[in-house]
Homo-oligomer: A and B are copies of this chain.
C-alpha cells in the first residue's frame, strides 16, 4: 500500500512553475483573460454544485486585491488566487462548514486549495516589514514580499512551520493523548513545533518528554503533510519508549494513555464509517495522525 499517495493536502496537479515567478514578462503574459482564479470566500473554497473547487477568471477579482500566482494548470493556463482587501490584516472568521466542504473535494483539489489557503493567509497577515515596520509589497508572483522602505528593503518569504507528530510505542502499545478541544473520547498522536537549534529527532524526544515524561529512542521518520491551518509542515515520526509510566503535562494534554493494537484497529475502522471505537475515537482522515495509525497497523 502506498501511504504517501493517501496523505490529505498533498498531490496538487498544479505546476508551481518557479521560473515564471521571477520573469515579469512571462508572468504578465499569463495574467490574461485565459487565466483561472481560485474562487474563495475569505479563506474557504467556493464549492461548485458538483462538489469541485470553484474557478473563475481574473474578471472575478475584487478591486484592491493582490494576485498570487499558484502555477500552471494542466492546460498550461495561469492559476491565481486573490488576497482580498477584506482579508488584509484581519483574521478570517471560522467557517463551520469548512471540513464538510473539503471532504467533497478530489485529493488533488484539496491539495491545491490547501497551498493557496496558506499563501493567501500569509499575505493577509504580513502587510508590514517585521524588521522596520514599513508597509510591504507583493513580489515574485506572491512568493515574496518586499519592504517598501528604501533604507530597509528587507525581503520576506512565505512561512512554513515544521511540526513533529509522533507515535510512541512500548510493548506493542501506542501512546496517544487528547487535548481539551478534541471531540469527546478522541485521542491523537502527540505533536509540537520544531524549535531553532534542534533536529527533527531531538524535537520528537523533547516533545515526548515534555508532554508525557517519557524518554523516546530510535526515532524514525514516516511521512509528511502540508497542513494549511495556517501553514505547518507536519512530519510524522515513530519512536520507542522503554517505560510506560506517564507524567502528563496537563497544560498541554487533558489525558494520555497507552492503547493496544486491537483498540487502535477498532478506532481506525470505526472512524472510516463515521463512528467511534470502543476504547477511543481516532483522528479524522484529513489528519496525518490517522495516516500514521494506519501505517502502524499495516506494518504489523
Residues of chain A at the chain B interface (Cβ within 8 Å): 4, 7, 9-12, 16, 18-19, 22, 89, 111-112, 114-116, 118-119, 122, 125-136, 143, 154, 156-162, 193-202, 206, 210, 221, 223-226, 228, 231, 233, 235, 249, 251
Contact = CB atoms under 8 A, between A and B. Distances in A.
A223 B235 CA distance: 13
A150 to B, nearest CB: 15
Contacts of A135: 133
Contact of A226 (B9, B134, B197): B197
Given A131-B126, A135-B133, A200 B233 contact: yes
Contacts of A22: 251
Contacts of A11: 202
Contacts of A197: 9, 12, 111-112, 114-116, 118-119, 226, 228
A249 B202 CA distance: 35
Copies in the complex: 2
A224 B200 contact: yes
B233 A115 contact: no
Contact of A228 (B10, B157, B162, B196): B196
Q: Which are the 3 A-B pairs with shortest beta-carbon distances?
A: A115-B197, A118-B196, A128-B133
A127 B118 contact: no
A118 to B, nearest CB: 4
A16 B195 contact: yes
Contacts of A133: 127-129, 133-135
Contact of A200 (B196, B201, B235): B235
A201 B224 contact: yes
A162 B19 CA distance: 21
Contacts of A18: 206, 210
26 contacts: A10-B198, A11-B202, A12-B198, A16-B206, A19-B249, A19-B251, A22-B251, A89-B131, A111-B197, A112-B197, A115-B198, A119-B196, A125-B154, A127-B131, A128-B132, A133-B133, A143-B195, A157-B161, A159-B159, A160-B194, A160-B195, A196-B226, A197-B228, A199-B233, A200-B233, A200-B235
